[in-house]
Structure 1
Amino acid sequence: MSLADSDHELVVEELGREPSPAEVALFENLWSEHCAYRSSRPLLSAFESEGDQVVIGPGDDAAVVALPDCESYITLGIESHNHPSYVDPFDGAATGVGGIVRDTLSMGAYPIALADSLYFGDFEREHSQYLFEGVVEGISHYGNCIGVPTVTGSVAFHDGYEGNPLVNVACIGLIDDPDRLVTAEAQQPGNKLVLFGSATGRDGLGGASFASEDLGEDAEVEDRPAVQVGDPYSEKLLIEASEQLIDGDLVESARDLGAAGLGGASSELVAKGGLGANIRLEDVHQREPNMNALEILLSESQERMCYEVRPENVEEVEAIAERYDLGASVIGEVTDGNYVCTFEGETVVDVDAEFLGEGAPMNDLATEPQPAVEQEIPDVALSEAIETVLSSPNTASKRWVYRQYDHEVQLRTAVRPGDDSALLAVREAGVGLAFSSGADPNWTDVAPYEGSRAVALENATNLAAKGARPLAAVDCLNGGNPEKPDVYGGFSDAVSGLADMCATLDIPVVGGNVSLYNDSPSGPIPPTPTLAVVGTKDSYDAPTLSLEGEGELLVIGDLALAGETDPLLGGSEFLSAFDGSDQFPELPSEPGALIDAVATVADLAGTLATHDVSHGGLAVTLAEMVTDDAGATITLDGDARSLLQEQPGRIVVETTEPEAVTEALDGIAPVTEIGTADSSGTLTISAESDAVELTAEKIAEYRNVIPETLE
């Protein structure tokens, strides 16, 4: 580990001396892109993060948001574990789950739901399948063992992720009493610092630095020591022990040990309180012999928390640790001086905590505009186009993934994975909580700004389709090497697009994560702004996406079907499959009013089924709604390409009261009648001079491509 020359000069100027080896390592990690957001922080001011519902916004381990009309809070957090998941897909993904759950614990919350958004290279490649299977196994193993349900998420395959997959994990926690809220801000000099949880080993050393560099060809071998190894059974004990600590009012402040390990957590904890600390590194409980100061300071061993505890409560904290077979070391105390670490009587770190955490200079990077997109539409028969898109891994059923997750543990999941969004029953507050997470690299690759606006609108539409209105969001902003102007230009446009649409929809972005340097010998990833959004409704009931076979079929918000625009196929799975290009489609002009109206429609008495239209277009949406007992006959006027475009902000509604739907959308967005549902179990589509007929059995065959390929 070494500091860049310019950073070294700043440190020497601040300290008035040469830094010690441990200080160099600590600055190198905490001033890395992963921790300090040196290239992205100048862009993040674009996000609006305030609102009456926001209790704690960006800057803590997780955000805290008040649920409407009750005394309960939820926490929201998201993180990436991209590089570790390339080097070791099982442990890399598993420890991503463990980390975001501990972020939840550090706020005094109990974790109630997870979402995973996963991005891999071309599905046909053996290495992509290896990473895909390992990541899903790691997430399912860890989440299932700790008893936190994975209820929603997304999976995408794109050439840009071949050498650098993305693993983004979000978590919701519940605080059913505001007095249980804890923050990461140290409170009082003289309080003790307690390292709580598993013993410290040598795994994960330099993980923050590792996450701030491009992956090399030998990363799977050379960078293996930087990947943490998780133990979900210890995490489950930590979750329950945390509940007892919070119940007993034994914790003054808390920080999860993640990037940069103990050095990162303890220094950030005291810096946020404008304080310092004296830490004795030899007092840290260790699982490996002869660890030196730097290893103890920067180890990213999992299942560990740093707690600030009043002196009179230390014995009770230690007793709870013993009860759960966890370690608890009193490693130092909060002071009003510098952040000081000693090891066997020698001072190895003596710096100002605020300078350590906030002193890194921001990068002023160049951008290049994205090249213009030309129109090149392949001439493909409608039947071939629909069959090809239906059998794409991107639009195929993800049942193989979510069936490996225990999504019903804790008995809250009212709408299960596989629908537009999950719906959780928060009975403590009498609130239905909808949850959606994801991005589409096809969209953001062809049009970073418009594609990112579409990502925000699509996630909000997922909530509205189940009758929920957006409450808050967190984002995970993934990009390539920001030192390349074209890469940073695309990333910057993606941030702006996501921020603009969230502001338009009045969704505060209350926290998030940034992951840059996602480059490899195969090139940079597409800009990938994962958004995880929660919304609320007054009940736990919602229309499913499967047809009932008894109503009229309407499409809300489709500008091309209504004749207001031409169908544009930019970013579509169709163009990806047939190597075409086009502009990205226009979005509705009043997206906020549209989302509110869709949520109203979802809860109308005559609404039988609802399904968001996005990935794969209207053709895929209709096919997904067909069952063995319910089908539909569809007749479209105008251009058949309307079936394949992926304009978000659209929803298919099966209803027995079409006039009520039209009335709810009056003047906000177009409503187009496209056909009727029936009991045939067959989807028949007539468009222009072409027609397609697909049975439920045939649709299932096309959409089963993932397990068939893997098996």
Structure 2
Amino acid sequence: MSPTSHARPQLDTVKHAAETPDTPLPWAELGLKQDEYERITQILDRRPTGAELAMYSVMWSEHCSYKSSKVHLRQFGEKAPASDALLVGIGENAGVVDVGQGYAVTFKVESHNHPSYIEPYQGAATGVGGIVRDILAMGARPVAVMDPLRFGAADHPDTHRVLPGVVAGIGGYGNCLGLPNIGGEVVFDSCYQGNPLVNALCVGVMRHEDIHLAKATGPGNRVILYGARTGGDGIGGVSVLASETFDDSGKPAKRPAVQVGDPFQEKLLIECTLEIFAEGLVAGIQDLGGAGLSCATSELASAGSGGMRIDLDTVPLRDASLSPEEILMSESQERMCAVVTPENEARFLEICAKWDVIATVIGEVTEGDRLEIFWRGEQIVDVPPRTVAHEGPVYQRPFARPDWQDALQADDAGALPRPRTADELRAQVLRLVGSPNQADKSWITDQYDRYVLGNTVLAQPEDGGMIRIDEDTNLGVALATDGNGRYAKLDPYAGAQLALAEAYRNVAATGARPLAVTDCLNFGSPEDPAVMWQFAEATRGLADACQTLGTPVTGGNVSLYNQTGEVAIHPTPVVGVLGVIDDVTRRTPMAFTEPGQLIYLLGDTAEEFGGSAWSQVVHDHLGGRPPRVDLAAERLLAEILIAASRDGMVDAAHDLSDGGLIQAVTESCVRGGLGARLVVPDGLDPFTFLFSESTARAVVAVPRSEETRFTDMCVARSQPVTRIGVIDGDAIELQGRFAIPLAELREAGERTLRALFA
């Protein structure tokens, strides 16, 4: 609700607030705790005005302030590996890395989970719009998006409400922007019932000299708000929703309006902003996302010289009845805030007019260290901007390993009944391939434009998406996102490392060299010590693994309160890895396309089934320990895959992860339209060979002419390598046990989601 809902005898100005210290304010209804409200009064040495209360309430929310997570997130900086590639790290709208030839790439993943549950289409659409503006604000042209998604059980009625709207929102917004959607994930699990995870990633490209930062410096410089008009949609929006759990009926305690997106307005905003950048007209810039104008003004002022004066009457409105508090809290989309020198003001406004983008000077940078906001000639805000933007509460939430963790890990998946006959083994392969998580996702991905702009080199279902960024040299970047909540539930520390390892492996499988990481950490309520233990362990695990692999975290997002009643989602750290490839024509796809090529397995296979797809699909079981993490083996495997791709030793590569070897081989065969004859290696039983989810593994297709060179390289570097078969025919055959025609495997994989959602 708005702070103005409590009637006051007059406009609540700074002067009035100082004169009426006992006036009650609805701080609790705006999500603030009593001690937080008391701290605000100490900072101001008086009670806040309604407008100030609105600003502090949204900026001190969990979504904007990271008040429960920042004590753990510091590890990403403290343990950050040395990196010559890192140009801009944590703290800006998005991280930036050097990819060579004078190019820089910025990328980031964020969440729009709670809004997407309430309004699936608009929640997902505005999630895409928001992350695109984060990338734009760094000075880059957005070139691609990705979407890691988690839903409840595939056959649950509410999944049928949420998923089609989310997919349509992502496709509708991204397609209208003309941005290819090159990857992501779709995972189903009942733990996400009522709490779907809608994470969105965007990547952008610029030259080194084009990097822009969010800061307001230079007294007298103009503050210009441009883009869409400000409306009543999204008042409090994600900044309030992200600090709430849902009750047992699936409803939040408050239902602020979900933002409404307009992708055509955003497209104009993108092109307008890029032209403004090209002419060097901006001294500082910030997009308006969570917390809207409250965030943009306080963060720009805080990161700059500290002083800013805003006239709120000048803000273009869609609804003239909005109160000043509502204007400050509104999260209406497609808006940016720029700091411009007086001599550049006229040209800035001229370019906005050319693109039919509304632009208004709403204030200026001032001397001093106060953010001052006026409404109808009266001062309604007078605050130190750092206290709003960067000095919010810091909680040392209590955390403790839950009592049930030992029992969960003791419930070993390796003890589950296994197939006893070849027929049972064959039947379980088909069950796995046709299960919702392993099934073909083209019903979803076909709704996204993957090839618009003409620079998409690889897109889903490939291991990683790849974009060419220079048409003359064929320089490119690859990205992958991964996260296995089942692994993280069994062991949050290892689970986060496994998410990083899989994304790292997926990027390397395309032939690109992993450079940097972004993450979206999705967890339950931080007020639950068990959830905070999961969060603490996951962040510690991810920071340690990034240090070992040499991939710094450049930024990301934390999404908490993802739970219904007392039931939290599985801890779900989603990790995105970006890599660089010097020549995209040397990339490695996943499809088996050449008969007679040899299939090699890279890596060691052990009996590891905790959290596996097989244990979920066949036994509906979650227990034991996840696969062992071996980061040194992951690094070696990546080096082998990158060298083999660069030197033309392999024609196809596919990492092994969910579903094990049989899932990977099936995907490569179906995508390429050719079968495979497989042989179980000595020392392995057929079941473990097919379904184990041991890590640091990949399958590759090696031309016979390259076999000696390839195996010699592996042996010289002590990379475990085993020849397991040959590409041949129109079936997958496990020698001496069963054969499954590709047509049957394709049908099993393709019918699942179409039957559920088409």
Q: TM-score scaled to structure 1, two decimals?
A: 0.95
Q: Which amino acid aligns with 1:659?
A: T
Q: Which residue of 1 aligns with 2:435?
A: 392
1:453-483 Cα offsets, whole Å, 9 max, x none, are 1111111111111111101111111111011
Q: Is 2:710 aligned against 1:661? A: yes
Q: Which residue of 2 aligns with 1:378?
A: 417
Q: How far is the alpha carbon of 1:246 from its aligned partner? A: 0.7
Q: Which residue of 2 aligns with 1:563?
A: none
Is the alpha carbon distance of 1:197 and 1:536 closer, same or farther for their aligned partners in structure 2, counting shifts above 3 Å?
A: same
Greater Cα offset, 602-611 or 502-511: 602-611
Q: Which residue of 1 aligns with 2:448?
A: 405
For residue 620 of structure 2, the aligned residue among 547, 561, 579 is 579
Q: Which amino acid aligns with 2:667?
A: E
For residue 3 of structure 1, the aligned residue among 32, 46, 68 is 32
Q: How far is the alpha carbon of 1:219 from its aligned partner? A: 5.8
For residue 483 of structure 2, the aligned residue among 422, 425, 439 is 439
Q: Which residue of 1 aligns with 2:46?
A: 17
Q: Which residue of 1 aligns with 2:10?
A: none
CA contact (8 A) 2:677 2:734 kept: yes
Partner Cα distance (2:575, 2:190) in 1: 21
Q: How far is the alpha carbon of 1:253 from its aligned partner? A: 0.6
CA contact (8 A) 2:60 2:392 kept: yes
Partner Cα distance (1:533, 1:682) in 2: 34
Q: Which residue of 1 aligns with 2:740?
A: 694
Partner Cα distance (1:664, 1:531) in 2: 30
Q: Which residue of 2 aligns with 1:643?
A: 690
Is the alpha carbon distance of 1:629 and 1:525 closer, same or farther for their aligned partners in structure 2, counting shifts above 3 Å?
A: closer
CA contact (8 A) 1:600 1:664 kept: no
Q: Which residue of 1 aligns with 2:588?
A: 543
Partner Cα distance (1:215, 1:660) in 2: 58
Partner Cα distance (1:389, 1:498) in 2: 29
Structure 1 residue runs without a partner (length 5+): 561-565
Alignment of 1:358-373 (within 5 A): 358-369=390-401, 371-372=405-406, 373=409
Partner Cα distance (1:697, 1:5) in 2: 63
Partner Cα distance (1:300, 1:210) in 2: 12
1:422-455 Cα offsets, whole Å, 9 max, x none, are 1111116641211111212222222222121111
Q: How far is the alpha carbon of 1:178 from its aligned partner? A: 2.6
- Give aligned pairs, total: 699
Structure 2 residue runs without a partner (length 5+): 1-29
Q: How far is the alpha carbon of 1:593 from its aligned partner? A: 2.4
Q: Which residue of 2 aligns with 1:677?
A: 727
Q: Which amino acid aligns with 2:451?
A: E
Q: Which amino acid aligns with 2:131?
A: I
For residue 481 of structure 1, the aligned residue among 519, 525, 528 is 525
Q: Which residue of 2 aligns with 1:314?
A: 345
CA contact (8 A) 1:594 1:668 kept: no
Partner Cα distance (1:29, 1:219) in 2: 23
Q: How far is the alpha carbon of 1:223 from its aligned partner? A: 4.9
Q: How far is the alpha carbon of 1:549 from its aligned partner? A: 2.1
CA contact (8 A) 1:55 1:65 kept: yes
Q: Is 2:602 aligned against 1:553? A: no
Is the alpha carbon distance of 1:328 and 1:13 closer, same or farther for their aligned partners in structure 2, counting shifts above 3 Å?
A: same
Is the alpha carbon distance of 1:133 and 1:165 closer, same or farther for their aligned partners in structure 2, counting shifts above 3 Å?
A: same
Is the alpha carbon distance of 1:287 and 1:50 closer, same or farther for their aligned partners in structure 2, counting shifts above 3 Å?
A: farther
Is the alpha carbon distance of 1:232 and 1:86 closer, same or farther for their aligned partners in structure 2, counting shifts above 3 Å?
A: same
Q: How far is the alpha carbon of 1:591 from its aligned partner? A: 2.4
For residue 302 of structure 1, the aligned residue among 320, 333, 336 is 333
1:524-561 Cα offsets, whole Å, 9 max, x none, are 1111111111111121122321112221111101x22x
Q: Which residue of 1 aligns with 2:235?
A: 205
CA contact (8 A) 1:11 1:19 kept: yes
Partner Cα distance (1:222, 1:451) in 2: 32
Q: Secondary structure at the match of 1:658?
A: helix
Partner Cα distance (1:701, 1:219) in 2: 36
Q: Which amino acid aligns with 2:226?
A: F
1:201-242 Cα offsets, whole Å, 9 max, x none, are 011011202211112356668755331000000000001101
For residue 138 of structure 1, the aligned residue among 169, 172, 185 is 169
Alignment of 1:287-298 (within 5 A): 287-298=318-329
Q: Secondary structure at the match of 2:194?
A: coil
Q: Which amino acid aligns with 1:285?
A: P
Greater Cα offset, 660-669 or 85-94: 660-669
Is the alpha carbon distance of 1:349 and 1:378 closer, same or farther for their aligned partners in structure 2, counting shifts above 3 Å?
A: farther
**CA RMSD between the two structures:** 1.7
Partner Cα distance (1:225, 1:33) in 2: 16
Partner Cα distance (2:231, 2:253) in 1: 19
Q: Which residue of 1 aligns with 2:22?
A: none
Q: Which residue of 2 aligns with 1:614?
A: 657
Greater Cα offset, 242-251 or 364-373: 364-373
Partner Cα distance (2:322, 2:96) in 1: 37
Q: Which residue of 1 aligns with 2:27?
A: none
Alignment of 1:245-324 (within 5 A): 245-324=276-355
Q: Which residue of 2 aligns with 1:624?
A: 667
1:545-586 Cα offsets, whole Å, 9 max, x none, are 1112221111101x22xxxxx411011111112133332222
Q: How far is the alpha carbon of 1:674 from its aligned partner? A: 1.0
Partner Cα distance (2:385, 2:84) in 1: 32
Is the alpha carbon distance of 1:237 and 1:673 closer, same or farther for their aligned partners in structure 2, counting shifts above 3 Å?
A: same
Partner Cα distance (1:398, 1:342) in 2: 52
Could you tell me the percent identity over the aligned residues? Answer: 37
Partner Cα distance (2:31, 2:430) in 1: 54
Q: Which amino acid aligns with 1:460?
A: Y
Is the alpha carbon distance of 1:702 and 1:235 closer, same or farther for their aligned partners in structure 2, counting shifts above 3 Å?
A: same
Partner Cα distance (2:364, 2:714) in 1: 60
Q: Which amino acid aligns with 1:160?
A: C
